[in-house]
Chain A
Amino acid sequence: MNKSLLGLLMFIGSEVMFFGGLISVFLILRSGSVVWPPANQPLLPQTVTAINTFFLLVSGLTMHHSLKSIRANKGRNLLRWLSGTAVLGVTFLAIQGSEWIRLVGYGLTMTSSIYGGTFYALIGCHGLHVFGAVISLLFVLKKAFSGGYSVKAHTGVALCTMYWYFVVAIWPILYILVYLNF
């Protein structure tokens, strides 16, 4: 059994608890509010974020193909899929960042209301996790370009894939709860 993968799985377990706590706080605070979002606060961009969600989901698929490629000893395909994942991940962050700038412009800040505070805490934490995942992916990509992975030794790709799955899997839950107010 791969100890690195087990370690990462335990780390992801703690991350699930972390997001579970944040989601609980968000739900409790939202339930205490009569009108959500508050009347003087801007609405969140649902359509653009839906497209962004699509990009992130597709990146999960490309990452899955990366792992499949290295397991099938297809080094060229690994580079292709990893690069595609990195582009999609950066695109997700860029769109998220541009939306945040617009929202701050409309007056939604961390201190403007509980709505703003919970939004930036939840979505910001996820954004930081995606950022971390992209950084680790770039390291994996660099090693892959230098031919550092093989069928027998590709733990880096497997670790990166597992973490990527986590950041992709948690996003639709956040989107439905925060953006769609489900």
Chain B
Amino acid sequence: MKGFVYILFGFSTGVLVWLFPIDVLSCPVCFSSASKNVLHTYYISAAFLTLLPFTVLGVIFYWVKSQKRMSHPNSESDEDKEAE
């Protein structure tokens, strides 16, 4: 019963937040600026910082894969042979 109340509370809170969203300005300095240029740069930098971790992880993943390939140069060809 207690668990059901928690689920109901969580669900209704979620529905309320979804129905009545409130804008939260993550950078008050940028959003209160008179210059449109600041906001434009803010959006670009936000996109840049959002994509940067994926790029970093991609580079690390690629490096690990290339290191693996270098340490076992024949592993791929063996797999291919097995597949054939």
Contacts and interface: CB of A to CB of B under 8 A. Distances in A.
Contacts of B40: 31
A20 interface: yes
B64 A16 contact: no
Interface string B38-81: 10111011101100110011011001100110010000000000
A27 B41 contact: yes
- The prevalent SS among residues of B at the interface is helix
B40 to A, nearest CB: 7
Interface string B8-40: 000000000000000000010110010101101
A182 to B, nearest CB: 14
Interface of A: 1-2, 5-6, 9-10, 13, 16-17, 20-21, 23-24, 27-28, 30-32
A31 B37 contact: yes
- The prevalent SS among residues of A at the interface is helix
B60 A13 contact: yes
B38 A10 contact: no
A2 B27 CA distance: 41
Nearest to B42: A28
- The 10 tightest CB contacts between A and B, nearest first, are A24-B45, A31-B41, A13-B56, A32-B38, A31-B37, A20-B52, A1-B67, A28-B41, A31-B38, A27-B41
B71 A1 contact: yes
A6 B35 CA distance: 43
A182 B54 CA distance: 25
A20 to B, nearest CB: 5
Contact of A24 (B35, B48, B68, B71): B48
Nearest to B71: A1
A21 B49 contact: yes
A57 to B, nearest CB: 21
Given A9-B63, A20-B49, A27-B41, A32 B56 contact: no
A166 to B, nearest CB: 11
16 contacts: A1-B64, A9-B59, A9-B63, A13-B60, A24-B45, A24-B46, A24-B48, A24-B49, A27-B44, A28-B29, A28-B38, A28-B42, A31-B41, A32-B35, A32-B37, A32-B38
